[in-house]
Amino acid sequence: MAKVPKQELGKGIRALLGNSGTQEDMRSKKKKGSQDGIAKIALEQIETNPYQPRNEFDKEALEELAESIRTFGLIQPVTLRKLDGVKYQLIAGERRYRASKIAGLEAVPAYVRTANDQEMLEMALVENIQRADLNAIEVAISYQRLIDECNLTHESLSDRIGKNRSTVTNYIRLLKLPPALQQALKKDKISRGHARALLSIESKDGQLLALQRVLLDGLSVRATEKLVKSYNHPQISSSPQRDNLTPLHHEVRDHLSRKWGTKVLMKRKASGSGQLIINFGSDDELNEILDLIEGN
């Protein structure tokens, strides 16, 4: 059976990250007098990248990488640019740089590139976009920064990174989510499919209510889409609605009733303020409800 060839990176990425070529390519570059190449650089000469798209590094993952580096060394070089004097600045590989410091290395192998601030920003962002461990919000932020700071359109960015334009647009739309939803996506509490469905709700309050419903009941993406549809297109009742509750408010109220095993009433004003009323039949039942609320 013929092997399926691995998907290549877009031409723009290969041009930006051409430092990861074969040894033969590197020898060819050196013969031509290129300033780019691999060198052993002392960690004390390296400073971090102010354009680094990532600002969170998992401590446990860093320790695991550091242990691997202690055993096998740093297999993949970091990428640097030369500054004035004997200083270098990271373009890509801050996670490897941090883990190397934890591992006690004094120097690391590095690709040394010639790049101005604009090129450095673009290389750092594109290199990070290609990482598998970036969460959706980090990818979206990187896309937006490339568009804003490198003066790219959605179309030109999609060509540059080898992605469909619709993929770029869908990621950037995630930045319109309220902070609570973005945080849930970053922490893998919901998927991109959930987030895209919740974006269909026009009001931010509605999105937040739907998020609580998704988290409380562990709804699948398809179930979330149905919930959003019921919210955007509620069935018209023959009797006038006096409690100002949307279908989502009813869902939340009914969920709490089931969870606490008692009747829960919800009152809501047109302004959005309201009350939750929890019924209980005895002090023992009240204590049971309080234990459930506190998670005991």
Residues serving a catalytic function are: 94
Q: How many CB atoms lie within 10 A of CB 279?
A: 13
C-alpha to C-alpha distance for 164 and 154, rounded to whole angstroms: 9
Query: Alpha-carbon torsion 40, 45, 49, 55, what sign?
Result: positive
C-alpha to C-alpha distance for 290 and 296, rounded to whole angstroms: 9
Q: Are 19 and 113 in contact (CB under 8 A)?
A: yes
Alpha-carbon dihedral of residues 207, 208, 212, 214, nearest 10 degrees?
A: 20
Minimal CA–CA distance to 185: which of 211, 219, 153? Answer: 211
Helix (H) or strand (E) run with residue 31 in it: helix 23-31
Q: How many CB atoms lie within 10 A of CB 82?
A: 16
H helices, E strands: number in the chain: 14, 7
